[in-house]
Structure 1
Amino acid sequence: MTATADAGELTHRLKRVVPGGVDASSRRRAEYSSDASNYRVVPQVVVFPRHVDEVVAAAEAARAAGVPLTARGGGTSVAGNAVGPGVVVDFSRHLNRVLELDPESSTALVQPGVVLASLQAAAAPHGLRFGPDPSTHARCTLGGMIGNNACGPHAVAYGTTADNVLELDWLDGTGRRFTAGRGLDPVPGLAELVGSGLAVLRTELGRFGRQVSGYGLQHLLPEHGADLAKALVGTEGTCGLLLGARVRLVPVAPARVLVVLGYPDMPAAADAVPAVLAHRPLAVEGLDARLVDVVRRHHGPARVPVLPAGGGWLLVEVGGDTTAGAMAAAAALVGNADAVDHTVLEAGPAAAALWRIREDGAGLAGRTAAGAQAWPGWEDAAVPPERLGAYLRDFDALLTEHDIDGLLYGHFGDGCVHVRLDLPLADAPQRLRPFLTDAATLVASHGGSLSGEHGDGRARSELLPHMYSPAAIDLFGRFKGLLDPHDLLNPGILVRPAPVDTDLRRPAAHRLPADGGFAFAADDGDLTTAVHRCVGVGKCRADTSAAGGFMCPSYLATRDEKDSTRGRARVLQELSNGALVNGFASADVHESLDLCLSCKACASDCPTGIDMATYKSEVLYRTYRGRLRPRTHYLLGRLPTWTRLAGLAPRLVNAVAGIRPLRHAVLRLGGMDPRRDLPRFTRPFRRQRRRPGPATAGPRGPVLLWVDSFSDAFTPDSAHASISLLTDAGYDVTVSAGDVCCALTWITTGQLDQAKARLRRLLDAFAPHAAAGTPIVGLEPSCTAVLRGDLTELLGDDPRSHSVEAATRTLAELLDSTDGWTPPDLTGRAVVAQPHCHQHATIGYDADLRLLRRAGASVTTISGCCGLAGNFGMEAGHYDVSVAVAENGLLPALRSAPDAVLLADGFSCRTQAQHLTGRQGVHLAQLLHEPGRRP
């Protein structure tokens, strides 16, 4: 069905049976054209069923039209398992509940779109969990795990997903719906197939735990209970649609300890795995020193705990009934591990930080140690654990032979290795096939599996004959034929596979070089390379607030793929190939970016380092350069200009703004939401302090205090408090002179030519101080973050930008590093701290927390954006999302601590809190300068 009329008819049919849940727009199809793999397959239509009956109806409509159908969960499939050319059914949007949880039988009944973390949270109060736990546990779905036979680090103790599935509610390609469990009766002809293939089933399949490639038909053998449910796990959506699943839960180990074993290199670490397994660990993970170096470069050394000596490590988790028992098990393991060094960590921040590095491996490995872009493709091959060391040495030789590189990590206890490789897909995609062919031959020679947990998908299905005999391949085809005789379910996967080098996403994209806006220096001066940092790991779809993350606030508010960082990246990637989305002015592009708060959280929280705020600014720049702009760009985008004018008569401006009809009219005319208030102006700081100059001279030397536009116009008290604090700390304080603006509002609205002009004036004012070694202290976090990030991206060709960047500090950074200075006593003070998103992304909040704890304050840190985010929350059409974002962090935190001081250095954060709760926030300078002050 390729004709436009036929596609329209299909969409019409689907809308009749799935009302309100069908989208055939080009933007939506772009969002679902890729998963977490190298592949791009544009669907005709995307369906969001609200209940199981709509899934059945949608499948019937697709079958009647002869159109392929692909099931999709979290879209984290690395092998191209969740993209298809016809109908894509997204189970994660609505079919995402735990229907039953029975602690007595240790089982749960789940819908296919439930996220694993949600099941774990429901089971935790009963001391239970689902055993397998992929690194994507915060966003992958049980349906996807069942589709791929996912495993994760704890599969070494609890087995694969197949080992933990009891019954499946299944809809096959003929329209039959049945309960799959033990027994072959639900599928006519299946018993005969098993009887005719006993030799293959007993000799080629199920040879070791991580043999995930192909179909797991060994479960159909009588000695394995003729378990149809387990055989359907790992069929990757090619044999039916999952409508529900009953799964087994396992007890949580009461106490756990992490043992970190250091070895000279990764193969040496792999050699030690058999001895480690003898101690029955809960997890055995491999981690390359080069991957840890990526974390240090991306997030700073503080993000990595102290590790034992070595070039490769095993992270081994052991359990016990008590901490003492777990520590004893750890000691016994260390004595038998033959490591060059080791560390033992009880559950806590250091252990959690190492597990986060491991969980972020897929994104972190998206760049090689040399900084080259790396891709999946040979992502999760596995060998029997006793062969792992030898396999890694041969694999390293293979990489050298093909002149490619990658960072290794993985589930070493199961013999499963993850790696992303710098194959030149952008300009030499023809190198992919020879490498994959040789890699498949190599892993088969070690008795291994092409896939150890992600499935074969488009990436490896064609290579299955390197691993299986013709008889086994024929058996797979006959099995699919019983369940999907018309080959409409996820075609091109496993049976009658598509070539591994067709439908590759990156070769289809053309270069979008820097064009007067951002330099994209880390991406070879190319916007296309930048947006292809997103490989689809989907961390932006997870609620990472428990781990201190901020990404992605708009997705957490709407739960729509459109509003995830990944969804936006997919649309921009389609822009770069021009086949589906055409031009920077495309409505699809602007609709996709509309709810991006430009919070920059993805720049730090996404392990790939994607920066959607920068991409949005660049798109706005290229769209409106030399053209008429939206009204808000002239008002909010040039706010410092208007604040300076308002500062001439602040009382008059406030009086006019206090007249409700006039305020509403101004807001509407300016493209803003009339439910918002206008901030109150004060007598500007620059008019209170007639001339810049030194305060009382101090022994610690000079410091330049930068009073930005927001501090000047709205909160001059924070500037006065900062002068007093810095003077008391022994600094010789000079205040920035004149109109020194970082151009933040121009940057966020894409007025980059004007932004550069203002930043050059800033360099004229600040560069002499930076050259003299004088620290430049910023008060407004978003402005300070410009100098620590955007400045060099916009004016990197001016060497002064780098010296100013290096000289810029937050108030907390300077005071925290001031030897001998003691902060005022805040003992007993309850503080709810809202870090600004831009500070979180570019600077971090560690110095602030250290300072507050040194002062004795009891600090609760809010994770997540406040929701106002500069101009975003003021603009018409954004108010409801802005409030929903605040409900994800700010508002619950304030409700739970009514007597605490709200500490928020960001003007937007204080404005949002004041507007939604009436709660007045304070700047750090005010809190420290007036410790007795109440909110």
Structure 2
Amino acid sequence: MTMDASNHRRVPLGVVAPRDADDLAAALAICHEHGVPVVPRGGGTSIAGQATGVGVVLDFTRHMNRVLAIDPQSRTAEVEPGVIRDELCSIAAPHGLVFGPDPSTHSRCTIGGMIGNNACGSHSVAVGTTADNVLALDLLTRDGRALRADPGGSGLPDGLRDAGHALVDAHAALLRTGMPKLPRRISGYALDRLLPEHGRDWARALTGSEGTLAVLTRATVRLLPVPAARALAVIGYPDESSAAEAAPGLLPLRPLTLEGMSQDLIGGPDPGRRAAAGALLPRGGAWLFAETGGDTPAEARARAAALCRAAADGAVAGTVVEDPTAQRSLWRMREEASGTATRAADGGEAWPGWEDCAVPPARLGAYLRDFRALLREHGLRGVPYGHFGDGCVHVRIDFDLLTAPGVARYRAFSGDLARLVVSHGGSLSGEHGDGLARAELLPLMYGDAVVDLFHRFKDLWDPGNGLNPGVLARPDRLDDNLRFTPLPREPVPVAFGYPGDSGDFSAAVRRCVGVAKCRVNDPGTGVMCPSWRVTREERHSTRGRARLLHEMLAGEVVTDGWRSTEVRDALDLCLSCKGCRSDCPVGVDMATYKAEFLHHHWAGRIRPAAHYSMGSLPRWLRLAAALRAAPPANAAARVPPLAALAKRLGGIDPGRDIPPLPRAPLHRRPSVRAVRRPVAGIAAEAAAARGDGSGPRAVLFPDTFTAFLSPEAGEAALRVLGAAGVRTSVPREPVCCGLTWISTGRLDTARRVQRRTLERLSPLVEAGLTITVAEPPCAAALRSDLPELLHDDPRAETLAASVRTFAETLEELAPEWDPPRVDRPLVGQTHCHQHAVLGDTADRRLRERAGLTGEPLTGCCGLAGNFGFERGHLEVSAACAEERLLPAVRAADPGAVLVADGYSCRLQIAQLGPRDGRPARHLAEVLADALPADGEDPGRKG
């Protein structure tokens, strides 16, 4: 709770999660009695610093998060402050209603936070700001007294209401002339809403007060009807200034959105994402996203086409997107810009601070040109985007906030930009509030007289300055409390290479900018973050763990560095699913950070038992195979006292069953003996590949799980590859990706294992063979972890580039082969490491060609290698599986095929799923079973 999504950091005394309004009132009274400041907090996605604070932070997301009532007739809802905006919308959806404002964090920001900041969103040209959709607020004062703010102020104490009206009336002329009239004026207090001509609307006046006046307990908000159909006009322009200048001319056509973004933001720093994103867009260097609605798809399409026609003179291209999936992909680009903009393609870092200035829409094009010139003058870079229809611009700028000269330049630029915004008739904040980032500069916008009224208004409500001090009224300096100040100035010694962060672990941790996509509750949106969705505790989110690592590096709150038990305990429930590596807009890789931490934390000390048992799993399984110990080991596992003893010694949760060992590992199976050449060794395989062309084209990597726990998957892969005409060999010498040692933080051992693998496979890679890996997490480890751990060996990248999944091998080496038709529905799970690192495009195409209908679920099965077996993890592991995977398996049609390429996923289904005799299988097994018998036509071979 020391940070939000801003550049700022303030350390609180503690966090209180009140259960109801009475609980909150008691907490406020105690804090008031002891002179302890209080800061209300919602989702913590504020980017101006107002959700950080000293004293006590009030977290409403844990308990005060209910939708209390929906009234379809009056189109209103009553909600508690911790309600997630999208959860309110999902409850209102059956009535055809929605809460209109939708900031880019709509899937995790709270209604209370939106009211505190007067948040807006992409649809504000049609629905207005949060203040335009708030009808009444139930509040508690600093000392815990209850009151209600609504038009007229009848629910306020007479003295407070009358004093507020008197203050406004005494300075009515100043408020009528000194408050800019523009759609996105969010800065300061909205005192002009208390003028008689505005109905003395106390609810609107208090919206946007950033928790500095009172604490919200309940809000009555307006709901709006949802269009029956939507279309999206995407209009390309040469640059963002051209798009900005065109936007006002399109407003008379009443689009639902008018958003602008440039080429620099498309897909973020990841080349694959950029390519996929670019395929959806028309020509241009910048685009306007103009959404339209209608009673029918034809009506929505016609309105979007009219926007394209109206824009034709200045645009270079335009298209109407009707497909809902394509629309979601385009909106995802726009909504993730606040994260992707923090990392440039060249690895440079960029930060908020001047994230949402707003000017009159007609001035936006001229303002952007002046803004670009100001950036050049200060030697800075930034990519503007945002709500062009409202004249509101978002931007992340490459401020140097780590050094004193860099901070000085940040301060100088801030003053110059504030003056530029004011010169264009704008507001310092157009959406996210002033917070710690801009409040100091409010006199430049309003003048001293209006700002003095802000201070006096604050004093009416909070005379002791106990509510969010330092924000809005009598603010802290904008360069105080910067979160980077306590970080180490030199890189700390680490094991991984962190190639995207120049080898600097601190820079890797700084990737987390706090936009909190890891706190999305919907498991259907991706893999990240399964432990958060189960526990709903901030420390078990990707963001929470990154913040703890930040504090560990800072050394002020977490003082024992790598030995920290607080960090260790927070990382304990990280499943190392790597979902954040792909789902986080800036690619935070908590699995790698966890492995790095465990490496240092346990250095020179006795580790937990699971690190020796499951962390050394390849070693033990290889030994068991050599001793032909499968039958006695399986028999012992069926004897309860012996099984309990083994689990106790191995650090395995007593509720888990020890999986049986196959009678023969992969290397002793007939199919493997058949593809091995008479001459043993890697060198012989490489020589054959270089020879007459009759040698192997691919190598089936005998990963630990396939070789020793699920050899039937390896046999099936060999059979299918052979049927497709792909000559495949299996190495005789042991090779391993090092995954189990990585996941338990034994990185020195992992490096030795990987280096041996690199030595043995490099000749095959140099000979042009494809390294095919049936087990997705092992393929991911070879493709990502190996080059990051062996960053000093250029062969590591070469090996990583040669790794393919089973489906990728078929697609590349046998593109003309027709797989056997299965023609059955499919239920299953895409392994989280495949989702995060490898992608499943080839798998999707292969399944489609085989007639397997339906899509595997995206998520984490909860077993996650050693995680689900470690003592104390069973409850969380099972809860993760119960989110989507197990319900889908139970509901599967009797004729459906259960497919899961990851051994962990198959084992989780076997141990926790229905005992109906249907095992989950690798895709290779499903295809192998459908191959024709010997003598039948096997299909075309490439």
- TM-score band by shorter chain is over 0.9
2:597 equivalent to 1:628: no
| Residues 874-893 of structure 1 aligned to structure 2 (within 5 Å) | 874-893=869-888
Q: Distance in 1 between matches of 2:527 and 2:770?
A: 29
1:847: Cα distance to partner?
Answer: 1.6
2:634 equivalent to 1:650: no
TM-score by length of 1: 0.94
Letter in 1 for 2:275: P
Closer/same/farther in 2, CA of residues 859 and 736 from structure 1, 3 Å limit: farther
1:511: Cα distance to partner?
Answer: 4.5
The corresponding residue for 1:102 is 71
1:512: Cα distance to partner?
Answer: 6.3
The corresponding residue for 1:668 is 648
Closer/same/farther in 2, CA of residues 351 and 698 from structure 1, 3 Å limit: farther
| Residues 524-563 of structure 1 aligned to structure 2 (within 5 Å) | 524-547=502-525, 549-563=526-540
The corresponding residue for 2:247 is 273
The corresponding residue for 1:419 is 395
> Is residue 35–residue 77 contact of structure 1 (8 Å, CA) maintained in 2?
yes
1:473: Cα distance to partner?
Answer: 0.4
Match of 1:207, SS state, is: coil
Letter in 2 for 1:677: D
The corresponding residue for 2:51 is 82
The corresponding residue for 2:120 is 151
The corresponding residue for 1:37 is 6
The corresponding residue for 1:93 is 62
Q: Distance in 2 between matches of 1:758 and 1:397?
A: 53
Q: Distance in 2 between matches of 1:467 and 1:368?
A: 31
Counterpart among 802, 809, 814 of residue 807 in structure 1:
802
Counterpart among 530, 546, 569 of residue 546 in structure 2:
569
Match of 1:637, SS state, is: coil
Deviations 1:533-562 (A, max 9, x none): 001100000035333x10000000000101
Q: Distance in 2 between matches of 1:93 and 1:698?
A: 64
Counterpart among 667, 673, 680 of residue 686 in structure 1:
667
Match of 1:673, SS state, is: coil
Counterpart among 894, 897, 903 of residue 901 in structure 1:
897
Q: Distance in 2 between matches of 1:771 and 1:254?
A: 58
Q: Which stretch of the first structure deviates more once superposed, 251-260 or 809-818?
A: 809-818
1:765: Cα distance to partner?
Answer: 1.8
Letter in 1 for 2:668: R
The corresponding residue for 1:218 is 192
Q: Distance in 1 between matches of 2:760 and 2:503?
A: 28
Gaps of 5+ in 1: 1-31
1:669: Cα distance to partner?
Answer: 1.9
2:30 equivalent to 1:56: no
Q: Which stretch of the first structure deviates more once superposed, 762-771 or 255-264?
A: 762-771
Q: Distance in 2 between matches of 1:407 and 1:367?
A: 11
> Is residue 828–residue 885 contact of structure 2 (8 Å, CA) maintained in 1?
no
Closer/same/farther in 2, CA of residues 544 and 514 from structure 1, 3 Å limit: farther
Counterpart among 92, 99, 103 of residue 130 in structure 1:
99
Match of 1:421, SS state, is: coil
The corresponding residue for 2:16 is 47
Deviations 1:550-589 (A, max 9, x none): 0000000000101000000111000111111121011111
Letter in 1 for 2:172: L
Counterpart among 352, 365, 390 of residue 328 in structure 2:
352
Q: Distance in 2 between matches of 1:256 and 1:216?
A: 34
Deviations 1:812-838 (A, max 9, x none): 1122333211121122x1111211111
2:191 equivalent to 1:191: no
> Is residue 632–residue 875 contact of structure 1 (8 Å, CA) maintained in 2?
yes
Q: Distance in 2 between matches of 1:296 and 1:916?
A: 37
Q: Distance in 2 between matches of 1:381 and 1:815?
A: 52
The corresponding residue for 1:11 is none
Q: Distance in 1 between matches of 2:612 and 2:501?
A: 31
Across the aligned residues of Structure 1 and Structure 2, the Cα RMSD in angstroms comes to 1.7
Closer/same/farther in 2, CA of residues 123 and 866 from structure 1, 3 Å limit: same
> Is residue 267–residue 340 contact of structure 2 (8 Å, CA) maintained in 1?
no
Match of 1:497, SS state, is: coil
Match of 1:663, SS state, is: helix
| Residues 621-770 of structure 1 aligned to structure 2 (within 5 Å) | 621-647=599-625, 648-682=628-662, 683-688=664-669, 689-690=672-673, 693=676, 702-770=697-765
2:794 equivalent to 1:793: no
Q: Distance in 1 between matches of 2:272 and 2:113?
A: 30
Q: Which stretch of the first structure deviates more once superposed, 375-384 or 855-864?
A: 855-864
Counterpart among 110, 116, 121 of residue 85 in structure 2:
116
Gaps of 5+ in 2: 679-687, 933-942
Q: Distance in 2 between matches of 1:847 and 1:423?
A: 41
Q: Distance in 1 between matches of 2:269 and 2:233?
A: 20
Deviations 1:222-265 (A, max 9, x none): 11111100110000000000000010000111111111110010
Letter in 2 for 1:486: G
| Residues 7-46 of structure 1 aligned to structure 2 (within 5 Å) | 32-46=1-15
Deviations 1:67-101 (A, max 9, x none): 11000000001100111110100011111110100
Q: Distance in 2 between matches of 1:105 and 1:806?
A: 60
> Is residue 646–residue 681 contact of structure 1 (8 Å, CA) maintained in 2?
no
Deviations 1:165-187 (A, max 9, x none): 00110112254311111113513
> Is residue 304–residue 353 contact of structure 1 (8 Å, CA) maintained in 2?
no
1:304: Cα distance to partner?
Answer: 4.6
Match of 1:507, SS state, is: coil
Letter in 1 for 2:53: G
Q: Which stretch of the first structure deviates more once superposed, 178-187 or 581-590?
A: 178-187
Percentage identity across paired residues of the two chains: 52
Q: Which stretch of the first structure deviates more once superposed, 920-929 or 204-213?
A: 204-213
Q: Which stretch of the first structure deviates more once superposed, 874-883 or 168-177?
A: 168-177
Letter in 1 for 2:216: L
2:776 equivalent to 1:781: yes
1:513: Cα distance to partner?
Answer: 3.0
Closer/same/farther in 2, CA of residues 451 and 870 from structure 1, 3 Å limit: same
> Is residue 775–residue 901 contact of structure 2 (8 Å, CA) maintained in 1?
yes
> Is residue 368–residue 406 contact of structure 1 (8 Å, CA) maintained in 2?
no
The number of residue pairs the alignment matches comes to 900
Q: Distance in 1 between matches of 2:279 and 2:522?
A: 20
2:846 equivalent to 1:851: yes
1:627: Cα distance to partner?
Answer: 2.5
Match of 1:272, SS state, is: helix
2:219 equivalent to 1:245: yes
Q: Distance in 2 between matches of 1:300 and 1:415?
A: 27
Closer/same/farther in 2, CA of residues 543 and 429 from structure 1, 3 Å limit: same
Counterpart among 492, 502, 506 of residue 470 in structure 2:
492
Q: Distance in 1 between matches of 2:807 and 2:768?
A: 18
The corresponding residue for 1:816 is 811
1:104: Cα distance to partner?
Answer: 0.8
> Is residue 305–residue 353 contact of structure 1 (8 Å, CA) maintained in 2?
no
Q: Distance in 2 between matches of 1:74 and 1:200?
A: 36
Deviations 1:318-361 (A, max 9, x none): 11111111111112111111311111100422111110011111
Q: Distance in 2 between matches of 1:921 and 1:575?
A: 42
Q: Distance in 2 between matches of 1:610 and 1:631?
A: 29
Counterpart among 822, 831, 839 of residue 826 in structure 2:
831
2:584 equivalent to 1:603: no
> Is residue 229–residue 300 contact of structure 2 (8 Å, CA) maintained in 1?
yes
The corresponding residue for 1:23 is none
Closer/same/farther in 2, CA of residues 291 and 779 from structure 1, 3 Å limit: same
Q: Distance in 1 between matches of 2:60 and 2:235?
A: 40
> Is residue 291–residue 408 contact of structure 1 (8 Å, CA) maintained in 2?
no
> Is residue 6–residue 513 contact of structure 2 (8 Å, CA) maintained in 1?
yes
> Is residue 597–residue 745 contact of structure 2 (8 Å, CA) maintained in 1?
yes
Closer/same/farther in 2, CA of residues 104 and 712 from structure 1, 3 Å limit: same
> Is residue 167–residue 179 contact of structure 1 (8 Å, CA) maintained in 2?
yes
Letter in 2 for 1:765: R
Q: Which stretch of the first structure deviates more once superposed, 588-597 or 815-824?
A: 815-824
